[in-house]
Amino acid sequence: MKKIKCATLEGIDALAIDIEASFIRALPNFIIVGLANSSIQESKERVKSALLVNSFKFPALKLTINLSPSDIAKSGTFYDLGIALLIALHSEPKDDIFEDFFVFGEVGLDGSLKDTKDIFVLVLSLAKAGKIKNIFVPEASVAKLSLIPNINIYYAKTLKKACEFFIDKTSLKPYENTSLDFKFFEIDKQKYYYDLSYDADFNEVKGQSLGLEAALIAVSGQHNIIYEGSAGCGKSMIIKRMKDIMPPMSLEEILEFAKLESLDNKEPSFRPKRQIRSPHHTSTKSSIFGGGSFGAKIGEIALANNGILFFDELPHFPKMILEALREPLEDFCILISRVNSKILYKTKFLFAAALNPCPCGNLLSLEKKCRCNELEINRYKAKLSEPFLDRIDMYVVMNEAKIDAKSTTSSRQMHEKVISAFKKQKQRGQENLNGKLSDKELKKYCVLSEDAKNILAQARQNFALSYRSLNKILKVARTIADLENSDNILSSHVLKSISYRKR
């Protein structure tokens, strides 16, 4: 009995699957077992056509294909190639001709091999887990897969060429890995890539120096931030431009982002650009956190991993959703449980939000009169609980810009400062940026001067700060010190950090 290795998706990770084939002398029949859905069952017709068109003989036997383990539901058309190879080469004397190879690919009716969106996700996931070394895929899949390190990629355009390779493995050499064509720098033998092109520029923001400074700090350390201000003062404008000045990315982060793009049915770009996800306030809880009736599917907060999650008009989101955000904001992961599956998603994102000061949006306006009474304002803000706000690093109140206000900085200038602060954090040996430091890392990397310690102790007493709030202040102060090229956190850094706390 011959078998070929393939894989299936469980949530966002891959699980290895064996495609097994048995040929029995009985009435000719072709069946596929192992919880295969309709897309796999339909492969019988695709594979039959591809074999007969290319002069292969379809065996007059009872043919059973088993996808093992058989208790896991499977779907996808990338099993076609493995099934076709097992049938085409069933008479080969060696049982181990497919040993050490994972095989993926959809087969056309004419025997051509086609790429599918799942192949990149599966191979990347298996490679990160160290479970894969050699793969055989359609030629159309090679460009994306060649960026994944430490794997040997073999490929073909047609089923016939694929069969020739497995009969004589010397007929093809593995595809050479390619590298990203972007600017990068190296720290401790790790490359970090960045892109100096900007979809929208901060030079379009007039005035708002406080909001721009807060954005620079938030991006440099991946700090959660909320902007409050009157309608039209530039809150959303600033947040939407933050994605282009986000810190550089390692190859692993770029590939992980490409994996999320594939899961989101997008063609991976492989640009060192962190993404921004901005769900509408009418979005369901399942669409934001992930889930579904039959299996746990990826949601917005998992798709925002290593990027920005932006909630515009924050108080309009259901209170249930805002309270459920507390776990991913604190633990940087979320477990979605269903009867048939339990999936753990990483949620290490920068949370950014914008809200008006009142329902009509004019409470802080210098030109328009507020139409809301005190009860309406209190009800409007009551959705933002203290435990939720305690997980926000920075809270910025923005005023309207003056008519004659001018731009004060550009995205290029801000991005260069972000890159400089990023280098300082990595040169200290930090795995995570300042906003995502653990308590243990906090003690190691956030060294305070004596004056800074005294100010922090006084602030704790005066403002009744929680332990979490003190840690948030320390993290923001660490980023402010990095932007000012200071090794230690000084009193001025702590004072500025305290000024960004919600009071």
Does any domain span residue 429? Answer: no
Does any domain span residue 180? Answer: no
pLDDT in tens, 227-282: 999 988 999 999 999 999 999 999 999 999 999 999 888 889 899 999 999 999 99
Contacts of 99 (CB under 8 A, 6+ apart): none
Q: What is the pLDDT of residue 464?
A: 87
Residues 419 and 443 occupy one common structural domain: no
pLDDT in tens, 374-384: 999 999 989 89
Q: What is the mean pLDDT of the chain?
A: 93
Section 144-148 average pLDDT: 93
Section 410-414 average pLDDT: 96
pLDDT in tens, 442-451: 999 999 999 9
Residues 154 and 289 occupy one common structural domain: no
Percentage of the chain modeled with pLDDT above 70: 98
Residues 323 and 467 occupy one common structural domain: no
Give the C-alpha separation, 305 to 477, whole Å.
Answer: 24
Count of domains forming the chain = 3
Percentage of the chain modeled with pLDDT above 90: 79
Q: What is the pLDDT of residue 296?
A: 64
Give the C-alpha separation, 164 to 166, whole Å.
Answer: 6
Domain limit, last residue, from 171, 197, 228:
171
Does any domain span residue 220? Answer: yes
Residues 10 and 145 occupy one common structural domain: yes
Residues 162 and 200 occupy one common structural domain: no
Q: Where are the alpha helices (DSSP H) in 110-268?
A: 117-128, 142-145, 159-167, 209-221, 235-242, 251-263
Residues 139 and 28 occupy one common structural domain: yes
Q: Tokens 């192992």: give the residue.
A: 34
* Residue 36 · residue 74 · CB < 8 Å: yes
Q: What is the pLDDT of residue 1?
A: 77
Residues 356 and 443 occupy one common structural domain: no
Q: Which domain holds residue 448?
A: 437-503
pLDDT in tens, 429-488: 999 999 999 999 999 999 999 999 999 999 999 988 889 999 999 999 999 999 999 999
Does any domain span residue 176? Answer: no
Residues 282 and 351 occupy one common structural domain: yes
Does any domain span residue 431? Answer: no
Does any domain span residue 117? Answer: yes
* Residue 289 · residue 334 · CB < 8 Å: yes
Does any domain span residue 428? Answer: no
Does any domain span residue 47? Answer: yes
Residues 414 and 457 occupy one common structural domain: no
- pLDDT higher than threshold 80 for residue 325: yes
Q: Residue 293: which pLDDT band, with cuts at 50, 70 and 90?
A: low
- pLDDT higher than threshold 70 for residue 294: no
Residues 395 and 462 occupy one common structural domain: no
Domain limit, last residue, from 171, 202, 233:
171
Residues 41 and 157 occupy one common structural domain: yes
Section 13-35 average pLDDT: 95
Q: Residue 295: which pLDDT band, with cuts at 50, 70 and 90?
A: low
Domain limit, last residue, from 144, 171, 198:
171
**Domain holding 277: CATH number?**
3.40.50.300
Residues 444 and 410 occupy one common structural domain: no
Q: What is the pLDDT of residue 13?
A: 87
Q: Which of 475, 472, 477 is nearest to 497 (CA)?
A: 477
**Domain holding 38: CATH number?**
3.30.230.10
* Residue 212 · residue 396 · CB < 8 Å: no
**Domain holding 485: CATH number?**
1.10.8.60
- pLDDT higher than threshold 80 for residue 297: no
Residue 139, Cβ density class (10 Å: 0-12 exposed, 13-18 middle, ≥19 buried): middle
Q: What is the pLDDT of residue 94?
A: 80
Give the C-alpha separation, 228 to 153, whole Å.
Answer: 51
pTM: 0.91
